[in-house]
Structure 1
Amino acid sequence: MASTSVSRVVPASPHEVWTLIGGFDALPDWLPYIPKSTALEGGRVRRLTNPDGDVITERLVGFNEAERHYSYAIIEAPFPVDGYVSTLRVHTVPGHDDIAEVQWSGRFDPKGATEQEVVDLFTGIYADGLDALHRTLAT
């Protein structure tokens, strides 16, 4: 199983960051790559649409409000992987109330691509996403 993880320090308190990103259906609020999200099954499943019209369906598999993180699995997507599970987590930065560290990580089995190709794909998606989050919070 392959994995990758990307972290960014962002200019907002952990509470402010979690308020923005902690809702499982909140990706369009901060991630330009996902302009549309439809909640299904009482909010436990989200159907995402990217700008090209591709559909990505994901299921919430873990959620912890107090620790500010959630995990999800891909049900359907145009990505060359099986067994994909990802976690989005907000960390406090000791001694700083006005910033937070956000970590986006995932593990998966490559399917029809090399491990390095898939690691590079998701490393880029996570990095671009966290850069977009930083820009959203900086405005």
Structure 2
Amino acid sequence: MAKTTAGIDIAVTPDRVWQLMGGFGSLPDWLPYIADSTLSEGGRVRSLTNEEGDVIVERLEAFDNEARTYTYSILQAPFPVTAYRSTLTVKEVAGARSRVEWSGTFTPAGTSQEEAVTLFHDIYTQGLAALKSTLGA
């Protein structure tokens, strides 16, 4: 099983960051390459459409509003991995700042571990940079 983690410090409060990104259907609000998100199954499954028109279906596995974290798994996606599970977390750091971390574990399928790790690390890093930009921080 492979894993990767990316993090970013943002000069806004954790509550403000969580307000933007904490909803399971909110990816299009801050992640530019996700054009649409539709929730189903009482908000526990999201169907995402990326800018190329690919569909990614994810299931919410755990959600903790107080701790500002959620974990999800991929049910369907055009990625060369299986057993994908990811967590997004917003932590408070000194001075009304936030630390956002995005981590994932997965099993490469039809690609090397290094290529799969690079793919998701780049997604996480670029996504967190977009989050910071969206917040104007």
Normalising by structure 2, report the TM-score.
Answer: 0.98
**Residue aligning to 1:28:** 28
1:42 Cα offset (Å): 0.9
1:11 Cα offset (Å): 2.3
> Residue type matched to 1:46 in 2?
R
**Residue aligning to 1:120:** 118
> Residue type matched to 1:103 in 2?
E
Counterparts of 1:11 and 1:63, CA distance in 2: 24
1:23-46 Cα shifts (integer Å, max 9, x gaps):
000000100010100001110000
Superposition RMSD in Å: 0.8
Q: Does structure 2 retain, via aligned residues, the 8 Å contact 1:6–1:123?
A: yes
1:36-78 Cα shifts (integer Å, max 9, x gaps):
0000111000000001000000000010111000000000000
Q: How does 1:94-109 map to 2 (within 5 A)?
A: 95-97=94-96, 99-109=97-107
1:64-112 Cα shifts (integer Å, max 9, x gaps):
111000000000000000100000000110x211x20100000000000
SS at match of 1:35: strand
Alignment: residue pair count: 137
Task: Indicate the percent of aligned positions where both proteins have the same amino acid.
Answer: 52
Q: Which runs of 5+ in 2 are unaligned?
A: none
**Residue aligning to 1:14:** 14
Normalising by structure 1, report the TM-score.
Answer: 0.97
